[in-house]
């Protein structure tokens, strides 16, 4: 979707500008046409010659260059693009965009453009979380500016937290998704995805059952987010009060064995996300209602099928990406890493469900994306935002590996 797309790349003054040469190179590999505006601050981190060599086009810097204005006025420069990308987008340039300032070529082009704008924020964690920056971010979103990132991790200043510019593959995936969506497609168009959600109910007798507190909110949100990116999604849902997501094929089940059977029937799929909180055990026997007596009845438990491990089992029909969820009350990261290895899945989304976490049934959560290479800690987000971020990661992975 990037073939022959014209991207006006504005490089602002942040340390993340050192990633821009690789971004340009990757965009050019995909057939995009890149033209750069380099701010005075951006030139402290990357040279005009580097950007010109990689983009194959002139780099624009000075608003008051009469030669440039004669050849390429700032109005024309901003409107000949299909999209304007600001990467890195510093707190300063975000504030200027909100205020409508136009004191250099970059801000003038942003104010004059009639094309979509996307920003990739990058700054210190305290600057990112400052109320002024967050207010500016919300204003830009209201104005339909697309935002990709930032991500959490080690920052150039030595601190740790949110504020890292999104990685190059993530930015490219966001651009691809924008153009695919504008063309009525999505980055996961043509891919089949299987999502499990909700709890399972394991009957003790015809009246009672074993269950857990899972609401299904997270799994349903993941299914909806994948569908919005164009995937052909099948959702296998245990009992939940959540409405069926639009554009998703839904199969309703009650028990773990029913869920396992439905998953097997839904295969093959390229993407599997096991977000359901599947009961580990079922109860044998008791076809009649148990009566209250002197002694408490002994429950004869049997182990349920391991849906995640079954779907992630190595073989020619294994999905290209298998994602599990880990709900833990202690040693969160360590247990999630052990689960990822034991189940043979590619990623695990780990979240704390200890008392007071409000994860089960709540609308927000704090998660950690555990892969074979790293642990990525996300800030506290609403479950819908967690689903969207996970879907973006899946889209970026699919573009690189499928």
**Which positions are catalytic?**
157
Cα dihedral across residues 13, 19, 21, 23: positive or negative: negative
| Tokens, residue 223 | 């299914």
Q: Which parts of 84-182 fold into alpha helices (H)?
A: 91-99, 105-112, 125-129, 131-142, 168-182
Cα 98 versus chain centre, distance: 25
Alpha-carbon distance of 145 to 168, in angstroms, equals 19
Helix, strand, coil percentages in the chain from 3-state DSSP, rounded to 5: 35, 25, 40
Exposed, middle or buried: residue 56 (CB in 10 Å: 0-12, 13-18, 19+)?
A: exposed
The answer to whether the beta carbons of residues 242 and 215 sit under 8 Å apart is yes
For tokens 């701010």, the residue is 39
Round to whole Å and give the CA distance between 117 and 97: 11
Separation CA 385–CA 224 (nearest Å): 11
H/E element, 51:
helix 48-55
């Amino acid at each position: 979707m990037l073939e022959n797309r014209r991207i006006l790349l504005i490089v602002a003054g942040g340390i993340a500008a050192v990633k821009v040469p690789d971004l340009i190179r990757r965009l050019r590999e995909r057939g995009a046409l890149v033209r750069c505006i380099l701010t005075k601050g951006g030139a402290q981190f990357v040279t005009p010659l580097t950007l010109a060599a990689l983009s194959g086009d002139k780099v624009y810097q000075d608003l008051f260059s009469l030669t440039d204005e004669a050849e390429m006025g700032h109005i024309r420069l901003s409107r000949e693009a299909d999209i304007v990308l600001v990467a890195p987008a510093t707190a300063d340039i975000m504030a200027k965009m909100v205020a409508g300032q136009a004191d250099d070529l970059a801000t003038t082009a942003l104010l004059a453009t009639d094309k979509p704008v996307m920003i990739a924020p990058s700054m210190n964690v305290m600057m990112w979380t400052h109320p002024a920056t967050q207010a500016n971010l919300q204003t830009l979103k209201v104005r339909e500016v697309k935002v990709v990132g930032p991500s959490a991790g080690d920052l150039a200043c030595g601190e740790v937290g949110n504020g890292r510019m999104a990685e190059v593959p993530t930015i490219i995936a966001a651009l691809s998704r924008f153009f695919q969506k504008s063309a009525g497609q999505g980055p996961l168009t043509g891919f089949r995805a299987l999502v499990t959600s909700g709890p399972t109910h394991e009957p003790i007798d015809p009246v009672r059952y074993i269950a857990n507190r899972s609401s299904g909110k997270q799994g349903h949100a993941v299914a909806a987010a994948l569908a919005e990116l164009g995937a052909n999604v099948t959702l296998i849902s245990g009992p939940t009060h959540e409405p069926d997501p639009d554009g998703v094929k839904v199969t309703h089940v009650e028990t773990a064995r029913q869920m396992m059977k439905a998953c097997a029937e839904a295969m093959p799929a390229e993407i599997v996300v096991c977000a359901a909180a599947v009961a580990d055990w079922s109860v044998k026997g008791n076809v009649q209602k148990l009566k209250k007596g002197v002694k408490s009845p002994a429950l004869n438990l049997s182990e349920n099928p391991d849906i995640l491990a079954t779907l992630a089992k190595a073989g020619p029909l294994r999905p290209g990406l298998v994602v599990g969820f880990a709900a833990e009350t202690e040693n969160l990261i360590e247990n999630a890493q052990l689960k990822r290895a034991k189940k043979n899945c590619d990623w695990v989304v780990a979240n704390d469900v200890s008392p007071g976490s409000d994860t089960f049934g709540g609308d927000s959560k704090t998660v950690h994306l555990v892969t074979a290479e790293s642990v990525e800690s996300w800030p506290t987000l609403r479950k819908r935002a967690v689903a969207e971020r996970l879907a973006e990661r899946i889209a970026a992975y699919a573009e690189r590996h499928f």
